Amino acid sequence: MSATLLIRHPPGYEPERRYICDVIFREFLGLDYDSSSEDRSDVEITVADGSSPSRIVLADTLFQTPADEWLSAASLPSRPLPRLALAATAVEAVTVSDSLPVIYGSPLPDGSFLCEREGEIELGLDVLGSAFFMLSRYEELVSAVRDEYDRFPAAASLAQSEGFLDRPIVNEYLEILRWALSRLWPRLPRAKHEFRLRLSHDVDFPLFRIGREESFRLALRALRREHAPWLATRRLLGSLGLRSRSPERDLYNSFAYIMDADERAGTRSAFNFITAQTAGAIDGSYSVDDPWIRGLLRSLHERGHEIGLHPSYRTFRDGEQTLREFQALRRACEEEDIDQPAFGGRQHYLRWENPITWQNWEDAGLAYDSTLSFADRAGFRCGVCFEYPVFNLRTRRSLKLRESPLIAMDASLLEYHRLSLEQATAQLLELKRRCRLFEGEFTLLWHNDRLLSRRARKAYELTLLG
């Protein structure tokens, strides 16, 4: 069955509705649709050719927000969130648990969130509004809470406070919607997704060129947390200036190991490079014009790995600087005969502001961003483990730029959360399992300067192969 769906919705918020319908139905579910606005209070889904009288009715909550309350605290979900108890329904859908948080929605007259009648399924869950809230990072434009690095922290997020940061809630909503569609129209096609391990390595310090105080601190960490006396010794020697001057023997030159490990796992990685220093030492201490860095770029490309941009610390609100840094990377690649059709990357320190940073990347001509994970907590900041096109909440326009949400960063677990390598590995494997459950992407960031000890490398390889 290749019928087009017909989606009838209330008037208002046309750009937002068109965007989220495109993402949910065309991008994620692989279904064609037509939509129309009419005087109603809910969203109705039918087949457009009239071959079936069946229909799905969805709650419409977020897009009922009065215009003067849009992007204000009054439009945020009320807490605590209600729960949809799937065990009490006939739903057969892939979910992390039987209790599903309802970000936006309206209970049905009997107090439940799902009712099935002959030829009709009614959901009190606002699938479209809730997905829009998560994918657009709506709350991050409303809330002024920021951490010491001017980032929106996990603790301020709805996902963390309501206990669903560790589950891809939008994927779960998709599965419920897919169940309802299949229940009424079993011959509708199903989009094929395939689990993908998506690895990346932000190159902050390609070589061991850091200060004495930081070297000493890292030496203590190598002893206390990684139980790696060899590594601690090399760091201590480095703090005294007794480090190898040969890049090939440098402590932080783990690039050959990383490529070998990634290739054994059947994948290739993205290596994201800083091309300018806008905030001093925090932006590293290397140049893409350095001959050794140029050689590294060639080596990565020759082995089929991706080269990406890691915009410097102060760029997240600066579109002109983002463009200059991207141009520097493109120039370096062109001079080394590196032909890469598209470039993506990630903001340094995961500094990101909605929607300025996305628009900066769009204007610069970058293809995708992979910044969106919380620095202080691993998990599903965007609520999804699929790549998706993004939306500018200020201009109310869909962008060509795509977001590949970062699910986990090494520092989030090992530094912010202070887990052991074994505990971090267990959490990474569980997050990976959940991405696999939804045929999604497990996007992992592990820095080259954190893959030095045998125990760290073992944790990395277990995550890749597990």
CA distance 147 to 144: 10
What is the rounded end-to-end Cα distance, in angstroms, of the chain? 38
Handedness of CA 313, 318, 323, 328 (dihedral sign): negative
For 289, phi and psi rounded to 5 degrees?
-90, -5
Contact 169, 162 (CB under 8 A): no
Contact 406, 435 (CB under 8 A): no
Q: Which domains does the chain have, with CATH numbers?
A: 5-184 (no CATH), 196-208+244-465 (3.20.20.370)
The full DSSP string for 392-439 is: ETTTTEEEEEEE----EEHHIIIIIS---HHHHHHHHHHHHHHHHHTT
Q: 232: which residues sit within 8 A by CB, 6+ positions away?
A: 219, 220, 222, 223
CA distance 294 to 299: 9
CA distance 28 to 192: 9
Q: Among 42, 22, 40, 39, which Cα is nearest to 31's?
A: 22
pLDDT at 228: 58
pLDDT at 210: 62
Residue 230 is inside which H or E element, if any?
helix 229-239
Q: How many other β-carbons are positioned within 10 Å of the β-carbon of residue 251? A: 18
Contact 57, 42 (CB under 8 A): yes
- Radius of gyration (C-alpha) of the chain in whole angstroms: 24
Instruction: Determine how β-strand 5-9 pairs with β-strand 196-203.
Output: unpaired
Residue with the two structure tokens 């997905």: 131
pLDDT at 132: 99
The full DSSP string for 90-117 is: ------SSSEEE-SSB---TTS-SEEEE
pLDDT at 247: 80
CA distance 19 to 173: 17
Task: Give the amino acid at 5.
Answer: L
Q: What is the pLDDT along the chain (466 residues), one digit of tens a residue?
A: 568 999 999 999 999 999 999 999 999 999 999 999 999 999 999 998 878 899 999 999 999 999 999 999 999 999 999 999 999 999 999 999 999 999 999 999 999 999 999 999 999 999 999 999 999 999 999 999 999 999 999 999 999 999 999 999 999 999 999 999 999 999 999 899 999 999 999 999 998 766 666 665 665 665 566 665 656 566 666 665 555 567 888 888 999 999 999 999 999 999 999 999 999 989 998 999 999 999 999 999 999 999 999 999 999 999 999 999 999 999 999 999 999 999 999 999 999 999 999 999 999 999 999 999 999 999 999 999 999 999 999 999 999 999 999 999 999 999 899 899 999 999 999 999 999 999 999 999 999 999 998 999 999 999 999 9
- Is 94 buried (19+), middle (13-18) or exposed (0-12) by CB count in 10 A? middle
Contact 435, 96 (CB under 8 A): no
Instruction: Determine how β-strand 344-345 pairs with β-strand 368-369.
Output: parallel
Task: Give the amino acid at 26.
Answer: R
Q: Among 452, 464, 459, 385, which Cα is nearest to 419's?
A: 459
Q: Among 80, 105, 61, which Cα is nearest to 161's?
A: 80
Residue 18 is inside which H or E element, if any?
helix 14-21
Residue with the two structure tokens 């589950």: 167
